[in-house]
């Protein structure tokens, strides 16, 4: 298992497959590189190089007490790209990974990145404020934090069916659902709260308006974790040159339930 060291000395794990044009996959909050198991073989078969980091506090990476803010996590992405000297990169980011991609681009520039895809991203700004009336009240966020401190496994289990939008006919086995819950629980409890709070409280609107490279936004209309009217629709308005795709029957877990469609759409975006 290869590792690289970030600017604050944290050791982060990553996986690196293939030798073609590089794709860097940034995982969701509480998930790790394993979440991309339905994307990586598809792109390897088509000649791409797939690089998958585990963010700090997640997967096989170190679990430090600090560094869960958006700037440091963006710096972690920069450290990976520099460590492998990756260029002409396609960034593919799911959920909270979207904030890391957006902050990386605004903080470190677009020199190494050719294009970016935001999948069910928790952008542009989740918290309700005076200048963000479409946001979510902070009390609701902290209620979730309180539930994690009481019974974190139950919180994820209660939301699993909605995560995959199984009520719309998406065929996801109980075994797969259980496996994804285990992956979510593998993140450190501290990082679970710290990354969530950072994602909820960070305003990524200025980061998004500065993006000039080709951008793809993919969102599920039935996303219960990142409600499309709060996230996907508003992100698309901030990046007017972006290609926007909406999956009517997809929830937050579209990388599983709509993997075949998603992979084909991503390939068309990268190859186009």
Question: Looking at the annotation, which residues are catalytic?
Answer: 95, 223, 252
Q: Crossing angle of helices 138-164/189-201, nearest 10°?
A: 110
Q: Crossing angle of helices 174-185/138-164, nearest 10°?
A: 150
Candidates 104, 112, 102, 117; CA nearest to 39 is 117
- How far apart (Å, rounded) are the C-alpha atoms in residues 255 and 37? 9
Residue 206 falls in which region: left (phi positive, over 0), alpha (psi -120 to 50) or beta:
alpha
CB 168 within 8 A of CB 221: no
Strands (E), 120-258: 215-220, 243-247
Candidates 54, 44, 114; CA nearest to 86 is 114
């Amino acid at each position: 298992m290869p590792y690289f060291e970030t600017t604050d000395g944290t050791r982060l794990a990553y996986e690196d497959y293939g030798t073609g044009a590089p794709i860097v996959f940034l995982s969701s909050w509480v998930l790790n590189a394993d979440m991309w198991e339905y994307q990586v073989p598809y792109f390897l078969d088509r000649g791409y190089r797939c690089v998958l980091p585990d963010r700090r506090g997640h997967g096989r990476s170190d679990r430090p007490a600090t560094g869960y803010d958006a700037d440091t996590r963006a710096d972690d992405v920069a450290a990976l790209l520099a460590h492998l000297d990756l260029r002409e990169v396609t960034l593919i980011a799911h959920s909270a990974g979207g904030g890391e991609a957006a902050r990386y681009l605004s903080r470190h520039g677009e020199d190494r990145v050719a294009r970016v895809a935001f999948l069910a991203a928790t952008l542009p700004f989740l918290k309700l404020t005076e200048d963000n009336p479409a946001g979510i009240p902070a009390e609701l966020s902290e209620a979730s934090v309180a539930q994690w401190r009481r019974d974190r496994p139950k919180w994820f289990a209660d939301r699993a069916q909605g995560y995959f939008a199984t009520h719309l006919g998406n065929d996801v086995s109980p075994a797969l659902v259980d496996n994804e819950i285990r992956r979510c629980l593998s993140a450190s409890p501290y990082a679970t709260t710290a990354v969530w709070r950072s994602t909820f409280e960070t305003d990524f609107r200025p980061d998004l308006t500065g993006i000039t490279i080709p951008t793809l936004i993919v969102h599920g209309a039935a996303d219960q974790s990142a409600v499309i009217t709060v996230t996907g629709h508003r992100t698309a308005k901030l990046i007017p040159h972006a290609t926007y795709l909406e999956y009517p029957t997809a929830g937050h877990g579209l990388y599983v339930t709509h993997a075949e469609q998603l992979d084909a759409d991503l390939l068309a975006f990268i190859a186009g």
